[in-house]
Amino acid sequence: MTQQTYALPPGSRILVTGANGYIASHVIDLLLKRGYRVRGQVRQSRPWLDKLFQERYGDLFESVVLADLGDRDAVSPLIKDVAGMMLIATDISFAEDHSIIEETVKRTLTWLELAAGNNCIKRVVLTSSAGACTAPVADKPVVFDKDSWNESSLKAVQDNVAELPGLMGGSIYAASKTEGERRAVKWVEENHPPFVFNRVVPYWTLGPRIHPEVGNIFGSMSLTSGLAKGLGDFMQAFPPMWYVSVEDVAQLHVAALLDPELESERIFAMAAPFNWSDVVGIMRKLQPHNSKIPDPPANEGRSLHLFVGVEKAEQILREFCGRPGWTSLEECLAVGLPTYE
């Protein structure tokens, strides 16, 4: 791939929020490999992150501490010399706090508004979530497309009745992603900013951490890894879904930023449907002596959701990213699970 194929030339500075996160850390690694300078936002100092990337790429990476992503006065100087922004940070505390929804919207719009006033910024990518489209449900065929929104999550929050039993924080998270992405799209449509705006929508994300410090106890790979230790109660709360490799998600983020042919896109980063019987079967194959792996839920069914446009995401992986296609579920687990002792 030649330099002329990039929407932003190598050497440009890219700002990535939530730099110590599972997806963001992979995105940063890919950008640095391509010769981009990356400014990674973190809420508190992460020395391991600086050490990791500076040992690999020297002074191409710098981290900046910004605790409040909605602080306009603090955000403004961080983006004055950047050519692109990757808005990946999100609240994944799953706290039962309704204010998370409006705070997510406020932060997202703050960054978009400030970017619009910065003549240097040419491309902005927002990380959304499948939760902005739907809640997982088994054996119910539903079609989703670029205009689909998870209205049920907003109603669940309004009625204080969780979409998934016992996971009110999950409904709040989904509602925050729904409103965050939808309000961002509306703002872009109404304000016609001078930058290209693309969105990436991942589902249950699996695969390796770039560093042992990366991750969240409520993250999809963290929960799935818990099965190797016998921690399987969470499976009852999550019906069949679609999975995707974290490495494929990161590649699609980079494409959304750098591929000049991608403009105003909602990219569905989803490889294929899976259920916990699939995961447990693969794990028992990979770790045949691990007796702690719990049984999957009985009669759990399958995800029959269809995301219109997911084929385009795989095409982007092949044509822009040089990948053979989606990473298999088995490969995601093989490289992402802790080693069984």
CATH no. for residue 126? 3.40.50.720
Residue 3, pLDDT > 50, answer: no
E-strand spans in the chain? 13-16, 37-42, 61-65, 84-87, 123-127, 142-144, 196-202, 204-206, 241-245, 266-269, 272-274, 305-307
**Number of folded domains that form the chain:** 1
Confirm whether 310 is domain-assigned. yes
Confirm whether 6 is domain-assigned. no
Range of the domain at 22: 11-336
Confirm whether 114 is domain-assigned. yes
3-state secondary structure of 181: helix
The pLDDT value given to residue 92: 81
Quick check: pTM over 0.85?
yes
Q: What is the pLDDT of residues 228-254, one digit of tens each?
A: 999 999 999 999 999 999 999 999 999
272 contacts: CB under 8 Å, gap ≥ 6: 242, 243, 326, 329
Asked if 193 contacts 121 with a C-beta cutoff of 8 angstroms, the reply is no
The pLDDT value given to residue 174: 94
Rounded Cα distance, 23 and 15, in Å: 14
For residue 274, what are the β-bridge partners?
Answer: 241
203: confidence class by pLDDT, cuts 50, 70, 90: very high
Mean pLDDT, to the nearest integer, of 283-296?
Answer: 97
Confirm whether 4 is domain-assigned. no
Confirm whether 341 is domain-assigned. no
Confirm whether 40 is domain-assigned. yes
Lookup: tokens for 125:
């990518």
Q: What is the pLDDT of residues 137-175, one digit of tens each?
A: 999 999 999 999 999 999 999 998 888 777 898 899 999
Rounded Cα distance, 250 and 135, in Å: 23
Confirm whether 5 is domain-assigned. no
165 contacts: CB under 8 Å, gap ≥ 6: 237
Confirm whether 107 is domain-assigned. yes
Q: What is the pLDDT of residues 87-131, one digit of tens each?
A: 999 988 888 898 999 999 999 999 999 999 998 999 999 999 999
The pLDDT value given to residue 341: 57
Residue 2, pLDDT > 60, answer: no
List the Cα angle 128/312/196 in 5-degree steps.
55
Tell me the pLDDT of the chain averaged across its residues: 94
Q: Virtual CA dihedral for 201, 248, 274, 209, nearest 10 degrees?
A: -100
